[in-house]
């Protein structure tokens, strides 16, 4: 069984050996567009549809000689990798659409960040690409160049210009550069690849964003996890770039936003009961380029809509602690991390007792910090409120 990559130039782009394999096969499998390139094929044509599991089951039972046609490189966001795990197949790639797009753009692409929005949500796209000088994006009928432009403008990512390559190697091929404003208004073919290229320097927000840069409730600016405590809490969460994170009672969103910058390929889910704080959180997401799922509500209600997390952060207790912690630990993945900040010894005691009863391994860090402050020509220290940082690890089922 062979899988052959093919471009929009059809049989004209295939090696003579590949053409011979196709002609000698008894079954030709592919999308309608691919099969149409071989109108005189003498064997049986099978249209790829109904999901990969269905086609894999068919191929396992098929005893005749089969050739499968796939777009570009079948191992690049294609069906090759998935089918190869289920059936024995030889794969012969064509140039990928991204490779062809960069060739039309006349740019090297070894330093590009490559991602796909084909059949995927655009949620989280901002933090994935933020800071990259070149970004190649596979699109679909929903995540069009127009929608991508609108999305980037919402997050202020105006440092990018776009190169859109349409119908690569087809009779209606068209390629060109566009500003984000132009790309939002232009009409494009459904078959396209978007390459984003930085033309100006973007703003840089390293981990440890200054407190005053966040939109906060006024005049009371105390409802934010201070930068130093935020950094200690993020370290305790032990996030990776693929982590799924919950922030319960997110308020300004400071912890969730910093978590999103670490878990760029994962996702962040935040919940907040106060509408004014939620509005500030949404403004901060836009400013700091972190696109996360934010919900209005009082936990634990609403948490059932979130996927199971690798890490959970709670910035303080708003009552119903035992119920909330129970739900959190039940949903937390095995060996996941639960981090909670509390200011009083009463809440410290309640939280620790509850977490231990839930079978967690618990550690506590008492943070007593002070910041320098000028006084005349001298310097004094102004203390921050002492905080207890509780870290609980959920034991795995095999422990």
Could you read off the pLDDT of 91-121 as tens digits, one per residue? 999 999 999 999 999 999 999 999 999 999 9
Least confident of 55-59, 67-71, 389-393: 55-59
Q: For 269-286, what is each residue's pLDDT tens digit?
A: 999 999 999 999 999 999
- Identify the pLDDT of residue 57: 82
Q: Does domain 98-198 have CATH number 3.50.30.60?
A: no
Residue that wins the pLDDT comparison between 136 and 49: 136
The pLDDT confidence band at residue 349, using thresholds 50, 70 and 90, is very high
For 147-157, what is the mean pLDDT? 97
β-sheet with 160-166: strand ranges across: 113-116, 134-138, 192-198, 160-166, 174-178
Q: Are 315 and 213 in contact (CB under 8 A)?
A: no
Least confident of 7-16, 51-60, 339-348: 51-60
In angstroms, the Cα distances linking 242 to 201, 259, 314, 390 are 27, 11, 20, 23
Res. 84: pLDDT tops 90: no
2-95 CATH: 3.40.1010.10
* C-alpha dihedral sign at 238, 243, 247, 251: positive
Least confident of 8-12, 51-55, 163-167: 51-55
Which token pair is 148? 């991508």
Res. 314: pLDDT tops 90: yes
Q: Which long-range contacts (CB under 8 A, 24 or more apart) does 225-230 make?
A: 225/251, 225/254, 225/255, 225/315, 225/341, 226/369, 226/384, 228/367, 228/369, 228/384, 229/341, 229/367, 229/369, 229/384, 229/387, 229/389, 230/254, 230/255, 230/258
Where helices occur in 193-312 by DSSP H, the ranges are: 227-237, 254-262, 275-288
Give the three-state DSSP class for 11: helix
Residue keyed to tokens 């972190």: 290
Rounded Cα distance between 230 and 86, Å, is 45
Where helices occur in 158-202 by DSSP H, the ranges are: 180-185
Query: Where do the structural domains in the chain lie, given as residue ranges?
Result: 2-95, 98-198, 211-393
* C-alpha dihedral sign at 207, 208, 210, 216: positive
The pLDDT confidence band at residue 53, using thresholds 50, 70 and 90, is confident
Q: Which 8-state DSSP code applies to residue 168?
A: T
Spatial CB neighbours of 320, under 8 Å, sequence gap ≥ 6? 300
Q: What is the pTM of this model?
A: 0.89
Give the three-state DSSP class for 156: coil
Spatial CB neighbours of 61, under 8 Å, sequence gap ≥ 6? none
For 353-372, what is the mean pLDDT? 95
Between 321-331 and 345-357, two packed helices, what is the crossing angle to 10 degrees? 40
Res. 222: pLDDT tops 60: no
CATH topology of domain 211-393: Rossmann fold (3.40.50)
Computed over every residue of the chain, the mean pLDDT equals 93
């Amino acid at each position: 069984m062979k899988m052959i990559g093919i471009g929009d130039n059809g049989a004209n782009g295939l090696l003579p050996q590949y053409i011979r394999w196709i002609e000698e096969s008894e079954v030709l499998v592919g999308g309608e567009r691919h099969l149409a390139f071989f109108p005189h094929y003498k064997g049986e044509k099978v249209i790829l549809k109904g999901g990969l599991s269905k086609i894999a089951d068919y191929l396992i039972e098929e005893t005749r000689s089969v050739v499968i046609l796939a777009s570009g490189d079948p191992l690049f966001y294609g069906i090759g990798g998935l089918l190869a795990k289920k059936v024995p197949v030889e794969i012969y790639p064509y140039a990928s659409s991204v490779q062809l797009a960069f060739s039309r753009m006349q740019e090297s692409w070894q330093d590009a960040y490559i991602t796909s929005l084909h059949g995927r949500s655009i949620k989280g796209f901002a933090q994935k690409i933020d800071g990259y000088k070149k970004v190649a994006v596979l699109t679909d009928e929903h995540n069009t160049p127009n929608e991508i432009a609108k999305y980037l403008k919402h997050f202020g990512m105006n440092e990018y210009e776009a190169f859109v390559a349409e119908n690569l190697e087809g009779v209606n091929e068209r390629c060109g550069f566009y500003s984000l404003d132009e790309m939002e208004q232009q009409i494009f073919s459904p078959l396209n690849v978007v390459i984003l290229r930085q033309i100006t320097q973007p703003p840089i927000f390293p981990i440890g964003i200054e407190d005053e840069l966040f939109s906060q409730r006024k005049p009371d600016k105390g409802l934010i996890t201070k930068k130093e405590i935020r950094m200690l809490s993020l370290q305790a969460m032990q996030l990776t770039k693929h982590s799924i994170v919950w922030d319960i009672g997110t308020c300004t969103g400071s912890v969730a936003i910093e978590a999103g910058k670490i878990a760029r390929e994962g996702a962040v889910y935040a919940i907040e009961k106060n509408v004014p704080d939620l509005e500030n959180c949404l403004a901060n997401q836009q400013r700091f380029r972190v696109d996360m799922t934010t919900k209005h509500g009082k936990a634990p209600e609403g948490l059932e809509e979130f996927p199971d997390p690798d890490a959970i952060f709670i910035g303080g207790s708003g009552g119903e602690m035992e119920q909330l912690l129970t739900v959190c630990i039940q949903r937390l993945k095995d060996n996941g991390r639960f981090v909670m900040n509390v200011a009083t010894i009463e809440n410290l005691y309640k939280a620790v007792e509850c977490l231990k009863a839930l079978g967690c391994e618990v550690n506590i860090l008492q943070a007593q910090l002070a910041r320098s402050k000028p006084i005349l020509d001298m310097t004094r220290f102004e203390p921050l409120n002492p905080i207890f940082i509780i870290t609980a690890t959920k034991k795995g089922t095999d422990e």
